[in-house]
């Protein structure tokens, strides 16, 4: 089967130092006709400079509305191996941590029920099992759940939350990213598996402002670690950085966005009242500086890719929230947000677009957040103010 692979164009991609997905797919093409036909169809795409997949198709597992992306070849006669080629999104563990056994178990399932191809991982964070037939979906699901795995999200649901490695391997983590992500995923299984929102709702969780999951750019709700008090300084360790010959002035002091660091010989001084917690100085001198003690997270809503209104970064709705089990305050907030969005959002309107449409002021009012300067880069510049209080004729000035 794989012997008759004629893929000269793709084989050009076997050259060069970077790991070749072509070589890799070939390595399973012997045992998987799906993989072989994927290469054949892809070779045709490379010849013709176009894709050969049909537009989506609703397939899934019983009782779930999400977790599977239906896909059919546009040339099923020519490439029967990919006539169906659906993907199964498997909810990854918090922080993408695995044991060899656990992963091998999934590979076994996929060799049996699918193409033998995966994406580790999809952009949202799921383990993506790439390519299988409709009739294999239910058996795949059954096998996965038996081993303790479940599906992730797709469609207009809460998407699979994901998080950085945080406290499991990072000194910067301002809260337990893995625990929170696990908690939210479990708490909202229904919202994850049964699309009932206006549109997708993504949650990404980063332990500090370095934002190693790109939450601020790619999640409707970004939960990003931050601290409120002062940066912790170890002057001894700082002196060692100076001694090591590091250009502390050029690399740290001059690059602080608010110029709030001063160095006097081997002593560092930070004006924490002007520090914006950007992380730069800590990043450059992790032994001398550390995030503070009053730790928690900021919540930014509304990040998304450009479709429809243009790309957005998340915008700060809560500049600081403590995040400890059982996360009641956060659950409450999430639910109030979903409720308001659900009731007043339009179909296919992401939360970021929704907030802009209903205005930030109204959004705050409805979900119960006080307007504060931290929500904006600056107050309004235009004078088009919807004054709501006014004096009534009779009231003699007292109504305001």
Partner 1 sequence: MATDVERKTDIGPPHYEQFLHPVMKANYGKWLYHDSIAPGVLSHTGPEGTIYTVRAASPRLASTNFIRNMTKIATDFCDGYLRFTSRNNVEFLTDKEENVDKIKAALAELKIPVGGTNNAISNVVHTQGWVHCHSAATDASGLVKVVMDELADYFTSENLPAKTRLAVACCLNMCGAVHASDIAILGVHRTPPVIDHSTLPNLCEIPTTVASCPNNAIKPTSIEGKTTVKVDEDKCMYCGNCFTVCPSMPLSDPLNDGVSIWVGGKISNARTEPMFTKLAVPYLPNNPPRWPEVTDAVKKIVDVYAANARPFERLGEWIDRISWARFFELTGFEFTKYHLDDFRWAGTTYKRSLQNRY
Q: Which stretch binds ligand SRM (CB under 6 A): 108-116, 118-126, 222-230, 357-365?
A: 118-126
C-alpha 7: how far from chain center: 35
Show the CA angle centred on residue 178, arms to residues 335 and 151, nearest 5°.
70
124 interface partner picked from ligand SRM, ligand SF4, a copy of itself, none, CB below 5 to 8 A per type: ligand SRM
Of 276 and 311, which has the nearer Cβ to a copy of itself? Answer: 311
Binding to a copy of itself by residue 148, rule CB under 8 A? Answer: no
What backbone phi and psi angles, to 5 degrees, belong to 248? -60, -40
Minimum distance of ligand SRM from residue 40's CB (angstroms): 18
Q: Which residue in 225, 350, 351, 354 binds ligand SRM (CB under 6 A)?
A: 350
Using CB under 8 A, which residues numbered 304 to 333 contact a copy of itself?
306, 310-311
Q: Which stretch binds ligand SF4 (CB under 6 A): 107-115, 204-212, 316-324, 375-383?
A: 204-212
Grouping H, G, I as helix, E, B as strand and the rest as coil, residue 167 is: helix
Minimum distance of partner 1 from residue 400's CB (angstroms): 8
How many other β-carbons are positioned within 10 Å of the β-carbon of residue 310? 10
Show the CA angle centred on residue 177, arms to residues 171 and 178, nearest 5°.
110
Structure tokens at 300: 């930014």
Q: Which stretch binds ligand SF4 (CB under 6 A): 66-74, 186-194, 205-213, 314-322?
A: 205-213
CA 131, CA 83: separation in Å to the nearest integer? 10
Q: Which residue in 168, 217, 251, 278 binds ligand SF4 (CB under 6 A)?
A: 278
Q: Which residue is nearest to ligand SRM (CB)?
A: 122
Binding to ligand SF4 by residue 164, rule CB under 6 A? Answer: yes
Binding to ligand SRM by residue 128, rule CB under 6 A? Answer: yes
151: Cβ contacts below 8 Å, ≥ 6 apart:
61, 64, 66, 67, 68, 88, 89, 90, 91, 141, 144, 193
Minimum distance of ligand SRM from residue 120's CB (angstroms): 10
CA 149, CA 76: separation in Å to the nearest integer? 31
Minimum distance of ligand SF4 from residue 269's CB (angstroms): 10
How many other β-carbons are positioned within 10 Å of the β-carbon of residue 100? 7
Of 81 and 122, which has the nearer Cβ to ligand SRM? Answer: 122
128: Cβ contacts below 8 Å, ≥ 6 apart:
87, 88, 89, 90, 118, 119, 120, 121, 122
Structure tokens at 156: 């207009």
Q: Which residue in 261, 300, 318, 323 binds ligand SF4 (CB under 6 A)?
A: 261
Q: Which stretch binds a copy of itself (CB under 8 A): 33-41, 99-107, 348-356, 382-390?
A: 382-390
Tokens 């740290």 map to which residue?
252
Binding to a copy of itself by residue 373, rule CB under 8 A? Answer: no
Q: Which residue in 35, 42, 43, 71 binds ligand SRM (CB under 6 A)?
A: 71
How many other β-carbons are positioned within 10 Å of the β-carbon of residue 152? 29
Q: Is 347 exposed, middle or buried (0-12, 13-18, 19+ CB in 10 A)?
A: exposed
Q: Which residue in 2, 165, 217, 360 binds ligand SF4 (CB under 6 A)?
A: 165
Grouping H, G, I as helix, E, B as strand and the rest as coil, residue 151 is: strand
Q: Which residue is nearest to ligand SF4 (CB)?
A: 207
Binding residues for ligand SRM, per CB under 6 A?
56, 69, 71, 87, 89, 95, 119, 121-126, 128, 152, 160, 164-165, 170-172, 200, 202, 210-212, 214, 218, 283, 304-305, 307, 350
Binding residues for ligand SF4, per CB under 6 A?
164-166, 170, 172-173, 206-208, 210-212, 225, 256-258, 260-261, 270, 275-282
């Amino acid at each position: 089967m794989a012997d008759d692979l004629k893929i000269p164009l793709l084989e050009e991609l076997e050259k060069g130092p970077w790991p070749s997905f072509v070589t890799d797919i070939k390595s399973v093409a012997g045992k998987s006709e799906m993989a072989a036909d994927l290469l054949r169809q892809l070779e045709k795409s490379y010849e013709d400079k176009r894709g050969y997949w049909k537009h989506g198709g609703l397939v899934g597992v019983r009782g779930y509305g999400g977790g599977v992306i239906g896909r059919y070849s546009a040339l099923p006669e020519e490439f029967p191996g990919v006539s169906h080629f659906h993907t199964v999104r498997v909810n990854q563990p918090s922080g993408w941590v695995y044991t060899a056994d656990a992963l091998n178990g999934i590979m076994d399932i996929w060799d049996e029920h699918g193409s033998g191809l995966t994406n580790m991982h999809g952009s949202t964070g799921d383990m993506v099992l790439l390519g299988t037939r409709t009739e294999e979906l239910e058996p795949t699901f059954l096998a996965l759940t038996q081993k303790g795995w479940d599906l992730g999200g797709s469609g207009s649901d809460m998407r699979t939350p994901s998080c950085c490695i945080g406290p499991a391997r990072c000194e910067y983590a301002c809260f337990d990213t893995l625990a929170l992500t696990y908690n939210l995923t479990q708490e909202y299984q229904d919202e994850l598996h049964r699309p009932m929102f206006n549109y997708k709702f993504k949650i990404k969780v980063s332990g500090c402002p370095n934002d190693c999951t790109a939450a601020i750019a790619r999640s409707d709700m970004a939960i990003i670690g931050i601290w409120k008090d002062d940066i912790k300084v170890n002057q001894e360790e700082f002196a060692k950085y100076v001694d090591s010959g590091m250009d502390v002035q050029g690399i740290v002091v001059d690059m602080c966005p608010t110029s709030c660091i001063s160095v006097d010989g081997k002593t560092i001084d930070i004006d924490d009242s002007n520090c914006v917690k950007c992380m730069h100085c800590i990043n450059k001198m992790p032994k001398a500086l550390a995030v503070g003690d009053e730790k928690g997270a900021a919540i930014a809503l509304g990040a998304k890719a450009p479709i429809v209104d243009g790309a957005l970064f998340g915008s700060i709705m809560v500049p600081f929230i403590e995040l400890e089990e059982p996360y009641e305050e956060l659950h409450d907030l999430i639910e109030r947000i979903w409720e308001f969005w659900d009731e007043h959002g339009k179909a296919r309107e992401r939360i970021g677009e929704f907030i802009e449409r209903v205005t930030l002021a109204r959004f705050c009012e409805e979900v119960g957040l006080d307007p504060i300067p931290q929500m904006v880069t600056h107050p309004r510049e235009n004078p088009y103010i919807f004054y709501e209080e006014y004096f009534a004729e009779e009231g003699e000035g007292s109504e305001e």
